[in-house]
Amino acid sequence: MIVIENLSRIYRKGSNEVAALQDLNFRVQQGSFVSVIGRSGSGKSTLLNLIGGLDRSDEGSLFFKEKDVMQMSRRELALHRRFSVGMIFQSFNLIHSRTARENIELALAFGGKSRRERKKQAMQLLEAVGLEDRADHQPTELSGGESQRVAIARAMANKPSVLLADEPTGNLDSATSGEIIELLQNLNKQEGVTILMVTHEEDTAHAVSDHLLRLSDGKMLEERRISQ
């Protein structure tokens, strides 16, 4: 589903060059749960940003369903972000001026849904993450776990086949983290959504994923398939 070949991303500032990713090669099967682990600065988030179409590589290819994301136009990248992938972040990234429901409706609006459809689907998504009673709450009125659930609901609004999760439990306590991981597992198992999760927590990664990538200084240190 995702094929990465010789992928490199170098950040330049003046004469300084920092290689965030170097010559990366791997494949992701549809429906798999991939965990990307590594220390801070190892290139995990950069990799997710490239797959999510938020950033561009300096070298190499990134095929998503046989189409090279790195060759896409800005408009095609926007469509890729809109329909092909959903993203969740450590800091949830909800828009604070909008309620939980409106945050989801915004994603549905970019997906071209009518006002009536947006309202209906947003409520269904909130129901799926167990937050239908929090629909009209602002993000500041939600707990960390609830915010991340809303973020997951929003990421799944346009039914992407891949969910990219950048440290989704990084700001949560262990109990809430467990709930979020469970939610991701359900999406993976029941909905068939491919999950790529960046995490610090090796135990969690081993417990939930069937494919493990370990990065160090932008290079692939280890790639392992785990049978669950």
Of 73 and 174, which CB lies nearer to other proteins in the complex structure?
Answer: 73
Q: Residue 105 CB, nearest distance to other proteins (Å)?
A: 10
Between CA 53 and CA 49 the distance in angstroms is 6
And the tokens for 58?
């300096």
What is the footprint of other proteins within residues 139-178 (CB under 8 A)? Answer: 154-155, 157-158
Between CA 31 and CA 174 the distance in angstroms is 26
Indicate the angle between helix axes 100-110 and 115-128, nearest 10 degrees.
130
The span of 104-112, 177-185, 191-199, 213-221 binding other proteins (CB under 8 A) equals 104-112
DSSP string, 54-108: SS--SEEEEEETTEEGGG--HHHHHHIIIIIEEEEETT----TTS-HHHHHHHHH
- How, if at all, do strands 162-166 and 194-199 pair? parallel
119 binds other proteins (CB under 8 A): no
The span of 59-67, 82-90, 167-175, 195-203 binding other proteins (CB under 8 A) equals 82-90
Determine which residue in the list 28, 34, 70, 87 makes contact with other proteins, applying CB under 8 A: 87
Determine which residue in the list 24, 34, 81, 153 makes contact with other proteins, applying CB under 8 A: 81
Total residues in contact with other proteins, by rule CB under 8 A: 28
26 binds other proteins (CB under 8 A): no
Q: Which has the closest alpha carbon to 122: 142, 141, 144, 98?
A: 98
195 binds other proteins (CB under 8 A): no
Distances, alpha carbon 190 to alpha carbons 35, 89, 166, in Å: 18, 22, 21
**Cβ atoms 10, 60 nearer than 8 A:** no
Binding mask 43-72 for other proteins (x = CB under 8 A): ------x--x-xx-----------------
Question: Site residues (CB under 8 A) for other proteins?
Answer: 49, 52, 54-55, 74-75, 78-79, 81-83, 87, 89, 93-95, 97, 106-107, 109-112, 115, 154-155, 157-158
